[in-house]
Structure 1
Amino acid sequence: MSTGFFWDERCFWHGGGNYAGMLPVGGLVQPVASGGLPESPESKRRLKNLMDVTGLSGDLALRGGAEAAHEDLLRVHPASYLDAFKAASDAGGGEMGRRTPFGPGGYEIAALSAGLSVAALEAVLRGELRNAYALSRPPGHHCLPDYPNGFCLMANLAIAIEAARAKGLAERVVVLDWDVHHGNGTEAIFYEDPDVLTISIHQERNYPMDTGEFADRGRGKGTGANLNVPLPPGVGHRGYLAALERIILPQIRAFQPDVIVIACGFDAAAIDPLGRMLATAETFRMMTQQVMTLADEICGGRLMMAHEGGYSEAYVPFCGHHVLQEMSGSAITAPDPFGDVFPLRQPGAAFDRFVEQWLAEMAEAL
């Protein structure tokens, strides 16, 4: 079985609506980037372009997807929110939440972004693909059921998970979110659900400022099925791998899911303008490798990723290429152009000891 890559050109056409300048955006007029917003189509488009240029695309099963069905959206978002979003989209766009501007047709593009995740997860669970990556845009992990947030207009992964569970394709799911920002939307949606283990590893108090605490472990029947791993700025490559090995992978193994789903943001990378974590393309490759090894052990290798954040147009493509090369087992590489620079900026021994103590306290508390 091969690795699926789910994408659609229309997702690159999502824009900031009234942030996009004076051009008549909409219809066949593409947005001008995103009107200065960090969430630009370029980092995602350049990932696909890099894959085409290196030839990695030829080693993947390239697929598309339809807009998520209305009944799938309703499992996560109330009709009142969807109706208001659709009306605003049809009227030319606007902004309904925090940092979530959209233009005309924004509703349909958001539903398509969610639909790519729905299709990717279903293909993996039905055994059509070994694993899959959805280049979903706009992203989803900050979106609450009735409140868009942080560039996220629909909760892509939550919609995909609930659609799969409604079809009887899975019962227990792990969501591992390694975006640099806390996955507050995904957490909120599944906070009382004992069958979805939500894990977020993120820069402490980056965004949102008031969520993502280690003490937040779920509620009611879902108590213990949420885990936040907030890390101090600058932990770098070694810190991320240590957190994965010492805290996260044991929790996933103990949960015994039917599938592992990853909210794959690349904004923990070293030159990202919205993060300060100093991870590298190799960090993301090795994290992917470790999760794949665990997935082979506990859930038949079933793994699906959906693209979240990552705002460096120069570096996100290389981080994504490293991940997809690992997922597919392809021999086609895209050497990290910053590989000789970032290792020199990794934290020193004193900071390593500080991070070690930080992780030890969390591991002991579990």
Structure 2
Amino acid sequence: MSTGFFWDERCFWHGGGNYAATLPIGGLVQPLAAGGLPESPETKRRLKNLMDVTGLSAQLDMRTAPEATREMLERIHPASYLDAFKATSDAGGGELGHHTPFAQGGYEIATLSAGLAVAAVDAVASGALGNAYALSRPPGHHCTADEPMGFCLLANIAIAIEAARAKGLVNRVAVLDWDVHHGNGTQSIFYDRSDVLTISLHQHSNYPLNSGMVEERGTGDGAGYAINLPMHAGSGHTAYLHALDRVVIPALEAYQPDMIVVACGYDAASVDPLARMQATAETFSVMTHKIKDTAARLCDGKLVMVHEGGYSEVYVPFCGHAVMTALSGSDIHAADPMADVLHQRQPAPEFDAFLRQSIDAMALELDL
């Protein structure tokens, strides 16, 4: 079965307009790239370009998708939020709270971003593709049902899961979020439900503050179906792989999902400006291999990855290319130009042992 790659040039055109700038644009204030958003289109565009240059794109099933429909959106978001978003977008842009600005047309681009995730999940769940990647922008894992946060305007993964569920394509879905920031939005949407397991690996106390603690386990029918690993700053390659082996894969095996969806952020990479972790392109490659193998054992290989964060324009493309090589089983590799340097920056053995011990302690607290 082939690997799908869902993308659309229009998603790269999302920006914050003047609303994203600390100072008003004009006069002696030079306009900022991407409308002032730290979440730049270049990280995504350069990933797609790198795949084109290496020839990997030619081995993938490259697709676009229509915008998510209002019916799809309303399974997650209240009409009042969607109406306010659309009206503000039509009026030239702005923000609806939590410093998540958008320019005119931002509503349509956000629905397209969600639509890419919807199409990827649908194609894999229906058997049309073996697995898939959605290059969604703006991202979605911080957006709650009624509030945008952290560059996220619509809950892309949640919308995609519920669209597939409405068609009878999935029943139990596991969402693994390895973006360096807690996947609070996805967690909140499914917090009282047992039909979606949420697992988040993130840097402790990064963003959102006081969010994603081990004690957050779900409520009501969802009790026990939210898993959080707030990892220490400085966690590197072996700590991330230990977290997968010690917590993530056992949790997935216990849950037995119909499909695994990965909220795939690259901001745990060593050079990312918005985090303090030490992952490398190899880390993301090995994690993808491990989750791909797990999906093959548990759910006929049904695995979808949806793009989230990652803010190094130079390094995100190499992390993403490594993921796509692993996901597709291709023999086309893009050599990591920083591999030697980042290898030298990995935690010292004593600190690495401490990091793995802290993961073991959280696993015990989670009964894993």
Q: Give the letter for the 1:320 counterpart.
A: G
Tell me which residue corresponds to 1:61.
Answer: 61
Query: 1:100-115 residue pairs with structure 2 within 5 A?
Result: 100-115=100-115
Q: Deviations over 1:317-341 (max 9, x none)?
A: 0000000001111111100000011
Kept after mapping to 1: 8 A contact 2:15/2:36: no
- Between the aligned partners of 2:332 and 2:128, the Cα distance in structure 1 is 23
Q: Deviations over 1:282-330 (max 9, x none)?
A: 0000000000001000100000010000000000000000000011111
Identity across aligned pairs (percent)?
Answer: 64
Tell me which residue corresponds to 1:342.
Answer: 342
Q: Deviations over 1:232-290 (max 9, x none)?
A: 00110010000010011100011000000000000000100001111000000000000
Query: 1:115-154 residue pairs with structure 2 within 5 A?
Result: 115-154=115-154
Q: Does 1:331 align with 2:312?
A: no
Kept after mapping to 2: 8 A contact 1:273/1:311: yes
- Between the aligned partners of 2:320 and 2:78, the Cα distance in structure 1 is 33
- Between the aligned partners of 2:325 and 2:73, the Cα distance in structure 1 is 32
Tell me which residue corresponds to 1:84.
Answer: 84
Tell me which residue corresponds to 1:357.
Answer: 357
- Between the aligned partners of 1:122 and 1:326, the Cα distance in structure 2 is 21
* Structure 2 counterpart SS, 1:200: strand
What's the CA shift for 1:201? 0.2
Query: 1:67-78 residue pairs with structure 2 within 5 A?
Result: 67-78=67-78
Tell me which residue corresponds to 2:289.
Answer: 289
Query: 1:12-51 residue pairs with structure 2 within 5 A?
Result: 12-18=12-18, 19=20, 22=25, 33-51=33-51
Kept after mapping to 2: 8 A contact 1:117/1:136: yes
User: 4+ residue stretches of structure 1 with deviation over 2 A?
Assistant: 19-23
Structure 2, gaps ≥5 residues long: none
Kept after mapping to 2: 8 A contact 1:144/1:189: yes
Kept after mapping to 2: 8 A contact 1:295/1:303: yes
What's the CA shift for 1:98? 1.2
Q: Give the letter for the 2:256 counterpart.
A: Q
- Between the aligned partners of 1:290 and 1:364, the Cα distance in structure 2 is 22
- After superposition, the CA RMSD in angstroms is 1.1
Q: Give the letter for the 1:273 counterpart.
A: P
Tell me which residue corresponds to 1:172.
Answer: 172
* Structure 2 counterpart SS, 1:260: strand
What's the CA shift for 1:355? 1.2
* Structure 2 counterpart SS, 1:62: strand
Tell me which residue corresponds to 2:306.
Answer: 306
Count of matched residue positions in the alignment of Structure 1 and Structure 2: 359
- Between the aligned partners of 1:99 and 1:281, the Cα distance in structure 2 is 30
- Between the aligned partners of 1:331 and 1:356, the Cα distance in structure 2 is 32
- Between the aligned partners of 2:143 and 2:353, the Cα distance in structure 1 is 36
Tell me which residue corresponds to 1:198.
Answer: 198
What's the CA shift for 1:99? 2.6
Query: 1:261-300 residue pairs with structure 2 within 5 A?
Result: 261-300=261-300
What's the CA shift for 1:37? 2.3
- Between the aligned partners of 1:144 and 1:268, the Cα distance in structure 2 is 22
Q: Give the letter for the 1:119 counterpart.
A: A
**TM-score scaled to structure 1, two decimals?**
0.96
What's the CA shift for 1:22? 4.9
Kept after mapping to 2: 8 A contact 1:33/1:41: no
What's the CA shift for 1:13? 0.3
What's the CA shift for 1:32? 6.0
What's the CA shift for 1:356? 2.3
* Structure 2 counterpart SS, 1:34: helix
Tell me which residue corresponds to 1:252.
Answer: 252
* Structure 2 counterpart SS, 1:227: strand
- Between the aligned partners of 2:62 and 2:9, the Cα distance in structure 1 is 12
Greater CA deviation, 34-43 or 182-191? 34-43
**TM-score scaled to structure 2, two decimals?**
0.96
